A and B are shown apart, each in its own frame.
Chain A
Amino acid sequence: MDKNKDINNDIKFLVKSEIRLKILSELNKQPNNIRGIVKKTKITYSSVSSNIGKLEKKNYIRKTNKKYYVTPMTEVYFNSIMEFKQSVDLINTYDKFWDKHNLNQLSIESVKNITDLKDSEMIETTPIDIFKTHNTIKEQIMQSENVKAIFPYLHPEYPKLIEELLNNQGSIELIIPQSIFKEFFLRIDRKTRKMAENNGKLKVHEYKDDLNLYLTLCDKNISLGLFKNDGSFDQNRILISDNHNSNVWASELFEHVKKQVAK
């Protein structure tokens, strides 16, 4: 195996001890001395002291004016480990969302940047609210002026929703599979549709194959839905988020799928 493609001993050294990781995490926030770290982490003095010694010996930290500092490079290393930790936490937190679901339509960049979704909320249907996921998205669309969306299937309410949005001078850009393309348009009022198309307020991209992804980018939120490995859409859970990073994440994913249309 290529040596550059393996977890090297430096990484192993750092992650092997939770105490070292905790010490680095404290020093990364602010320089401190052993006593200060003991106070903050509740780890014993002897454990902190011996691990500080090991970290200093390997040049991960330096002592200046009685305080320990992480070196700039350690900062980058540590951030990378924490970034990986966040991705693991994100996978575990939304386990039901990812597990046994098809991720083929996600670009490799979107998987690498998955921690951008860390402040998302998973919306799940409940026995007393079986349309919770659909209604959440519907509300987001109704409150938006500009919408971008990947709709892999035709929900009977979508044509009306789009019609309303266009009538309120909003704009929408869609990616939909070829199989529902015609049906979709027949259900939108012809005059509204034509006018919006002419004004550039309605753009639709026809996707040749099946789409295995559901994505909306509304004014304030994004939502993401996946297909199960058995090929059916999982109507029971979506991820929604209203922060900037997830918005950028979703825009890039939308553009990625759009490029495939052009091909």
Chain B
Amino acid sequence: MTNIETRQELTDEFSGIKYILSSGMRSRLLLCIYKNPKNLDDLRHDLKKPSATILHGLKELETINLVKKVKKSYELTSNGYLLTTNMIKLIDNWYSVNKTKDFWNNHDLSDLPEEVLKNIYLLKDAECVTSTTSNLSNAFNRYLKLISDANRLKIILPIYSENHFKYLTELLEKNKLESLDLVINKKILDSLKKHELFTENFLQNEKVNVICSNRDLKLFLTYSDDFMSLSLFFNDGHYDDSQILIAKDENAVKWASSLINYYKWRETWKDI
């Protein structure tokens, strides 16, 4: 047996979440009255459980001040509202990760900070595009298609790839792309500089703002006003060009921008 003291410490540490999350009844009741107060009849109808079970659950939630009874309806207290909103965030986070499970499970996530991962629910509508043996460059082609219509792009590029730079240079020449903020590390910058064509047409282009990062970030992030994409590295340190996460909604763009802002604030990024 684990001794009583240790057991008590453990119980205290996690009691707040265990009490709510491990009981289907309590968590469902909170979710049920989240949008609108409901009376017992409504709850019985929604939850398909007998009155006694529902009333018992409500009593428990009233005792810990998450629910209150006003006239004949049950509604969330202020604390109940805060807690349930955050429980929904947990459910959405979970859903979001599960939906693109393979993507998250196959890659090194160490450069995705906790602050950004905790809001992964923002990627709820993202899809994972994978290259297949019959279409080896599926992911890359989808990426090219995605950026081809963008007016403004912000990119963290962790790899030196002539294909990428060639395509970006082309977009700049076509005049569609109005501005490009690019975060790269010193090694990539040096490789770029060795290439005459890129020095002239890319680095010196006034639409391009290159930012040099001291750190070798292990993530390839791109976003514009209306889409974002992310690819990552394998745990063995190799870049994975076969899988890309793509999303075209406002929330996902917000997530991407929070990721860039996270590093902008913490790392010394020098404009070149």
Contacts and interface: CB of A to CB of B under 8 A. Distances in A.
Nearest to B80: A91
B214 interface: no
A76 interface: yes
A100 B65 CA distance: 10
Interface string A77-92: 1011101110111011
Given A8-B94, A80-B120, A91 B11 contact: no
B6 A7 contact: no
A21 interface: yes
A19 B22 CA distance: 14
B171 interface: no
B97 interface: yes
Interface string A235-258: 000000000110000000000000
Contacts of A101: 78
Nearest to A116: B115
Interface in B1-30: 1-3, 6, 10-11, 13-14, 16-18, 20-22, 24, 27-28
Contacts of B186: none
B6 A41 contact: yes
Contact of B90 (A4, A42, A81, A89): A81
B253 to A, nearest CB: 14
Interface stretch (A9-17, A125-133, A166-174): A9-17
B16 to A, nearest CB: 4
Contact of A98 (B24, B79, B91, B114): B79
Nearest to A111: B85
Contact of B17 (A77, A79, A85): A85
Q: Which of B6, B14, B120 has the most CB of A within 10 A?
A: B14
A15 B109 CA distance: 23
B81 interface: yes
Contact of B94 (A10, A47, A108): A10
A87 B84 CA distance: 10
A71 interface: yes
Nearest to B11: A18
Bin chain A's interface residue count: 35 or more
A63 B23 CA distance: 31
B236 to A, nearest CB: 12
A133 B161 CA distance: 57
A71 B118 CA distance: 16
Contacts of A72: 104-109, 235
Contact of B87 (A42, A84, A113, A229): A84
B136 interface: no
Contacts, number: 154
Given A4-B91, A76-B120, A16 B86 contact: no
Contacts of A18: 10-11, 13-14, 18
A230 interface: no
A43 interface: yes
A5 B31 contact: yes
B86 A73 contact: no
B82 A98 contact: yes
Nearest to A102: B78
A259 interface: no
Given A72-B108, A88-B86, A15 B17 contact: yes
A240 to B, nearest CB: 19
A5 B91 contact: yes
A84 B3 contact: no
Contact of B78 (A22, A44, A98): A98
A72 B109 CA distance: 6
User: Of residues A42, A44, A91, A114, which shows the largest number of chain B Cβ atoms within 10 Å of its Cβ?
Assistant: A91
B1 to A, nearest CB: 6
A115 B78 CA distance: 16
Interface of A: 1, 4-8, 10-12, 15-16, 18-19, 21-22, 41-44, 47, 71-73, 75-77, 79-81, 83-85, 87-89, 91-92, 95, 98-103, 108, 111-115, 229, 244-245
18 contacts: A10-B94, A11-B90, A18-B10, A18-B13, A18-B18, A22-B10, A44-B1, A71-B105, A72-B105, A75-B109, A79-B117, A80-B90, A80-B117, A83-B118, A87-B82, A88-B20, A103-B78, A245-B115
Top 3 A-B residue pairs of the complex, sorted by shortest distance between their CB atoms? A87-B86, A80-B93, A88-B16
